[in-house]
Amino acid sequence: MKKQILLVCVCLFAFTSHSQGSSIVEGEGGKSWTLKTKSAIYQLVVSGDGLLQMSYFGDNNQEVSRIGRPLGSEVTVRGGYSAYTPMLEVIFPDRVRDLELTFDRAEITQVEGYETLILHLKDKHYPFEIAEYIRILPEYDLMEKWIEIRNTGKKGTILVENAQSGTFFLPKDSYELTHFSGIWGAEYRPQVTKLTTGLKTIQVKNLRSYTPSFFAVRPEGETAETEGKVWFGGIHYSGNFRVDLEKYPTGLLQVTGGMNFWDQEINLKPGDKFVTPKLTIGYTSEGMQGVSLNLAAYAREKILPAAHREQVRPVLYNSWYATTFSVNEEHQLALARTAKELGVEMFVIDDGWFRGRINDHGGLGDWTVDKNKFPNGLQPMIEKINEMGLDFGIWIEPEMVNPNSDLYRAHPDWVFHYPNRTRHEDRNQLMLNLAREDVYQYLYKSFHTLLKENNIKFIKWDMNKALSDPGFPSAPTDEQRAVRVKYVENLYRLIENLRSDFPDVWFEDCAGGGGRIDWGMLARMDFCWTSDNTDPVERIFIQYSYLNAYPANTMISWITHEDWHGQNHSLGYKFDVSMSGVLGVGYDITKWGDAEKKIAKEKIARYKDIRETVQFGAHYRLVSPYENNRSVLQFVNKKQTESVVFVYNLAEYPNNAIRETQQSSIVRLRGLNPAKSYKIEGFQGSFTGEYLMSRGIEFPLRGAFRSQIYKIEETL
C-alpha cells in the first residue's frame, strides 16, 4: 500500500545544479540526480520513505531542474507487492524471500574516463548491500548500468535466484519492439512486434545467441529511419541473457535486462560479492539511424580491444569453402600464392589441420598438427607463406571435444554431463566444461603452445554446439547451478590471457556463423563471422540488419562459390557485397583463370582504396532491402571529406512498373557537410552536400543483381 500511495503523492520539486556542464547533476540534499547525454536525460529521486525511483528517461528538452513523479523503482525486487519484473530475487538463510531496499548514499566517480553515479542501497534488516553503477557516455547517447551485490554478514549464505543488470520504465503509451532473431544461415532477421499487456522476453538458454540481446522500443507507428523516439540497448554478455519488456494494464512499460537466471542460482557466502554484466541503454530522437550511428561508434571506439581498435583490418583469405577438411601443405601453399597475387594480406587455414580431423567425427580437443597432412608441422609452411608477404591465421574451436579424440578418451568427465543422463552430441561433439580449472588450464596451455611455436597472427575462434546437459557433478552442490556463470568467466579469462600473451594476434569471433555476437565478445575479439551463408543476396539482408547494431569493421564477409538460390551471381556483385565490411575471399582460387583473377585484383585494390572510410566511417542505411528491390549503404569518413555509396540491385523493376517505383532510385545522402562541394565518381560536375542530402541523386544502376560502388570526394 505504501508504494502505491507514494506513486501518487510524490510532488515536483526544484533543485539547483552542483556540477554544471557535467553529465551527472545532483539535486540539493543529494536525493535526486539528472543524468545527461547528448540528447537524453535520465532522472532518479529518493522518495520520502527512502526508496530509489526513476522518474524520466527521454528527450533532454524537459526542464532539467524538475524531477517528475516517479515511474517505478530503480532497482526492482521481489518483495512487498512484487508488482514489477524484479531485478533481484534472493532467499536469506532464515528462508525469508522478500527484499526491502532503502537508499543509503550516492557517489559520483569516474570509471574509465566517464562520469559514473554509484547508488548504494541496503536491505532494511539483512546484511545485503547493493551498489548500482550508472556510467554515462554522453557523446553516444548511452548509459551503462550494472549492479554489485554483497553479503556483508558474518554468517549465513544468501541464495541469489535472480540478479539483473538494470531496468527502466517508460510512461503509458503504445510501444512497439524491434529486435533480431535468427538461426544458422539466416542470422539477424528483424522482428517487429507491438508490445501488448503482458511480458515479452528475448532470451538465450543454451549459450547460443543467434538471437542477440539488442532491443529498440518505439512509440507505435513512429517507424521512420531517420527520426522518432527510440529507447534501445543490449547486454554485454556472451552467456545466457534475457531482456524482459513488460507492459502493465496501466500502459506503463518496464524494460529489464541482464543474465538469464533460468536454471541458475548463486550462493553468496559471508563477504562474497557478485557483479552483473553491463546493460547498455540509450535514447535517441533520430530513429533507427540514431541507434545505429551511436551503437556502431560506441563499439568501434570504446568496446573493441584497444590493441587493434584503430588498425585497418586486413584483406583475408579463408580456406573453409575451398577445402573443408581436406587441407594439406601443398594445396595451402598454392592457395596462398594465388591469394598474394590477388592482393590478400592474411591467409587463414580453417578447420581440418589438427590430429584426427579428417571430417567432423573426430579430432576436436587434440590441438596438435596432423602430421599426415603437414609432415613438417605448421611452422615451415607458415614461413613460406610469410616469405610470400602474407600473414598467417588458423581456425580453432577450444570449447568443444569430439568423443573420438585422445582428450575425451583420457577425460570423459571434462564435458558437461549428468550421471544417468544422455550426453547429447551435435555435429558429433560435446561441450567441455570450461568452468573446471583443469579444463581451463588444458586449453590455455594448448593454445599458448600453438601460438608460441608458430608465427600465427590471426585466430578464428569457432563454437558449434549449443549447451546441453549442464551438469557439473564434481562441483560442490551449491556451486553446480552457477556453472554457466563460471564457464563464461573462464571463457573470457582464456581469450584475455591469450591476447595479453600474444598482443599482435587478431581474433575473429565465430559460432557456427553468427551464433555468439555480443558486446562481451566484441570487447575481446576484433571482428565476427556473421553467417555461413555467403550467398550475396542473403548477405545483403544479414549485413543490413547487422549494421543496425554493430560497426562495419567487425563484419567479416568472404566471397565464395556458394549459391543458395541457384542464381549464379557474378563475381563483381559478390565482391561489392563483401566490400561493405571486412573483405575476405573463400573460393578455391587455384582453379581461377585470368578473367576471375583480373576481377579479384581490381576489386581488392578498390577495397583497399575505400576501406578506411568503410571501416572507420559512420554508416547510413539509405535503402532497405526489406522494403525495396535494392539496398543502398553509405559510409562517411570522420572529416566528411570522403563518402562511399554501395548500391545493390536485388531485382529488375517489375514489368509495367509505375513511374513512382522507378523514381525510388533517387537517394538522399546523409552525413555530408552541407556547405562543402563534392564530386561523385561517374558524374559530371560537382554537388554541394546540401544538394545531395536534400534533393538527392539518382544512381543509374539498372538490372537484377547488379551493383555499383560510388566514391564521393570533397572538391577543394
For cell 552430441, the residue is: 425
Q: Please give the residue whose beta carbon sits closest to ligand DGJ in the complex.
A: 351
| Distance separating alpha carbons of residues 692 and 255, to the nearest angstrom | 39
Examine the residue annotation and report whether 462 is marked as an active-site residue of this protein.
Answer: yes
The residues pairing with 633 across neighbouring beta strands, listed in sequence order, are 621, 646
| CB contact at 8 A, 72 and 254 | yes
* Residue 164 or 560 having the CB closest to ligand DGJ: 560
**Count of beta carbons in the 10 Å neighbourhood of residue 551:** 27
CA-based diameter of the chain, in Å?
80
CB of 228 or CB of 584, closer to ligand DGJ:
584
Least distance between ligand DGJ and beta carbon 529 (Å): 6
Dist CA 645 CA 60 (whole Å): 33
- Amino acid sitting at position 139: E
Q: How far is the CB of 351 from ligand DGJ (least distance, A)?
A: 4
For residue 407, the minimal CB distance to ligand DGJ (Å) is 17
Q: Which helix (H) or strand (E) holds 290?
A: helix 287-298
Q: Which residue in 462, 509, 518, 535 is the catalytic one?
A: 462
Nearest to 65 by CA among 17, 135, 132, 22: 17
Task: Quickly list DSSP for 520-568.
Answer: HHHTT-SEEE--S---HHHHHHHHHHHTTTS-GGGEEEEE-S--TTS--
CB of 515 to ligand DGJ, least distance (A): 8
CB closer to ligand DGJ, 188 vs 320: 320
Q: For ligand DGJ, which is the closer residue by CB, 167 or 560?
A: 560
Radius of gyration of the chain from Cα atoms?
27
Contact 444, 491 (CB under 8 A): no
**Is residue 94 flagged as an active site residue?**
no
* Minimum gap (Å) between residue 509 Cβ and ligand DGJ: 11
53, 73 in Cβ contact below 8 A?
yes
Q: How far is the CB of 558 from ligand DGJ (least distance, A)?
A: 9
Summarize as ranges the residues that interact with ligand DGJ (CB under 6 A). Answer: 320, 350-351, 395, 462, 464, 510, 512-513, 529, 532
How far is CA 456 from its chain centroid? 26
Residue 462 or 538 having the CB closest to ligand DGJ: 462
Interatomic CA distance for residues 31 and 45, integer angstroms: 6
Q: Work out whether the CA dihedral 368, 369, 370, 371 comes out positive or negative.
A: negative
Strand segments (E) across 197-345 = 198-203, 215-219, 230-235, 241-247, 253-259, 266-268, 273-275, 279-284, 316-318
Q: Fill in the DSSP letter of residue 10.
A: P
Nearer to ligand DGJ, 180 or 529 (CB): 529
Residue 308 has what DSSP assignment? H
Dig out the grid coordinates for 446 from the structure: 594448448
Cβ contacts of 425 within 8 Å, gap of 6 or more: 403, 465
Strand-pairing partners, residue 280, are 144, 234
By beta-carbon proximity to ligand DGJ, the closer residue of 395 and 646 is 395
15 versus 354: smaller Cβ distance to ligand DGJ = 354
Q: Which is nearer to ligand DGJ, 85 or 464 (CB)?
A: 464
Q: What is the rounded CA–CA span in Å between residue 638 and residue 161? A: 46
Quote the least distance from Cβ 514 to ligand DGJ, whole Å.
9
Shortest Å distance, C-beta 324 to ligand DGJ: 8
Least distance CB 401 / ligand DGJ (angstroms): 14
Catalytic residue among 360, 406, 469, 532: 532
Catalytic residue IDs: 462, 532
